[in-house]
């Protein structure tokens, strides 16, 4: 049975959400981001026309597009809209993977015998717009790679089907930058070799690609030929990461407990970023010396930022620790995970803070997760 995989992407998601609240923003260059020292979290197509791009410093964006309307953004509102879109899609498909806050993969394999997959996908897109007011694009093909590339070509508010016999012809003229796994360094490497289109890349011997970039060379060769067997991973809010610490001796030292929580948050947040997860639910657990166990949790905007998660964790600890009793165990659990790059709370963080996170993660990757961190996390 031939696979039928659809990729859906909400068009300029943050901007579209803001336009739902304020129709006066329609057709205006809009930049979502935080303050003069912040960076661009998202921007409208009208702003992109002037060269504005995500993660660009706000000051640079304003030099390119002085007339742009700057909006700080509301991650909680965007997260709620993302959950709403997820619910609309999830009740209409057999298998859904939520790849990020605004990106989805749908496995519709076998549904052709009941209803045309392309027609079915069109119906889902119509349902999303009818129920949320948000514009969304999609592409349908035989695998994730071709569908994702197709969505990029279909935007904005586009609908595209790339059937199996047409895959290579569709891919050939496109830049190798369109392949999801090709970053700046890989693109520059192949550009120096004169390889800029997918067709040229596909004509290279797989052995040469393997020599150039190792085992990823084989994967890249397959993607250039439209080959990708990666499954659609069913979306589930039950995914989580967690950690616990049982004390050798029960303690009532609150300052020490907060320090341990700080260290826990840093390690879990680093794990989130490494595995490209964002969390939307935080739970804090304590167990008293008499073995009574209590938990407290709250829903938050998607994030993997240490300082955001630490603030929530300490607030929850203050709420759950209600007895003047010794504690034998504390734990933290992050759930409601979706794949996505660290949002860095682009509406709050400065360029300096974002740079600090990136530098700390590089140090941790090289010397270990415990090699650098907040001083409070080492006060044990």
The set of long-range contacts for 17-21, using a CB threshold of 8 Å and a minimum separation of 24, is: 17/74, 17/77, 17/78, 17/81, 17/134, 18/71, 18/73, 20/133, 20/134
In sequence order, the 6+-apart residues with CB closer than 8 A to the CB of 139 are 6, 7, 146, 147, 148, 149, 150, 151, 153, 154, 158, 159, 160, 161, 162
Reply yes or no on whether 153 is catalytic.
Answer: no
> Tokens 């519709």, residue?
108
> Tokens 């549904």, residue?
111
What are the tokens at 69?
Answer: 């309307």
Catalytic, out of 103, 130, 185, 352: 103
Cis amide bond preceding 156, omega within 30: yes
Inter-residue contact 304 to 268 (CB < 8 Å): no
In sequence order, the 6+-apart residues with CB closer than 8 A to the CB of 325 are 252, 288, 289, 290
Under DSSP, is residue 207 helix (H, G, I), strand (E, B) or coil?
A: helix
Between the CA of residue 354 and those of 57, 61, 69, 247, 270, what are the distances in Å? 11, 17, 23, 34, 14
Length of the chain: 380
Calculate Rg over the CA atoms of the chain: 23
Among all residues, which ones are annotated catalytic?
A: 103
């Amino acid at each position: 049975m031939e696979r039928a995989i659809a990729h859906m992407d909400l068009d300029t998601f943050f901007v579209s959400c803001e336009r739902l609240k304020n129709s006066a923003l329609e057709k205006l260059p809009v930049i979502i981001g935080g303050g003069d020292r912040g960076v661009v979290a998202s921007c409208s197509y009208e702003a992109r026309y002037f060269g504005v791009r995500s993660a660009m410093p706000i000051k640079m964006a304003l030099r390119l597009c002085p007339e742009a309307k700057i909006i700080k953004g509301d991650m909680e509102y965007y997260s709620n809209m993302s959950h709403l879109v997820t619910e609309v899609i999830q009740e209409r498909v057999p298998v859904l993977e939520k790849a990020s806050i605004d990106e989805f993969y749908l496995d519709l394999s076998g549904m052709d015998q009941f209803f045309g997959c392309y027609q079915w996908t069109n119906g889902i897109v119509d349902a999303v717009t009818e129920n949320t007011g948000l514009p969304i694009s999609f592409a349908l093909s035989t695998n994730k790679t071709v569908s994702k590339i197709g969505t990029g070509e279909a935007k904005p508010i586009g609908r595209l089907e790339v059937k199996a016999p047409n895959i290579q012809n569709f891919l050939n003229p496109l830049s190798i930058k369109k392949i999801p796994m090709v970053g700046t360094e890989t693109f520059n490497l192949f550009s120096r070799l004169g390889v800029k289109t997918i067709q040229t890349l596909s004509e290279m011997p797989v052995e040469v690609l393997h020599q150039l970039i190792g085992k990823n060379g084989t994967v890249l060769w397959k993607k250039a030929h439209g080959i990708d067997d990666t499954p659609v991973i069913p979306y589930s809010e039950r995914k989580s990461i967690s950690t616990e610490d049982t004390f050798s001796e029960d303690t009532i030292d609150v300052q020490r407990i907060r320090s341990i929580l700080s260290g826990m948050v840093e390690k879990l947040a680093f794990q989130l970023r490494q595995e490209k997860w964002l969390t939307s639910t935080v739970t804090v657990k304590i167990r008293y010396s008499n073995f009574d166990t209590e938990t407290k949790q709250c829903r938050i905007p998607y994030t993997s930022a240490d300082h955001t998660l630490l603030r929530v964790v300490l607030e929850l600890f203050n709420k759950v620790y209600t007895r003047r009793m010794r504690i034998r165990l504390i734990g933290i659990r992050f759930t409601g995970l979706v794949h996505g790059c660290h949002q860095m709370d682009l509406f709050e963080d400065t360029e300096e803070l974002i740079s600090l996170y990136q530098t700390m993660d590089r140090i941790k990757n090289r010397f270990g997760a415990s090699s650098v961190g907040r001083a409070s996390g080492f006060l044990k």
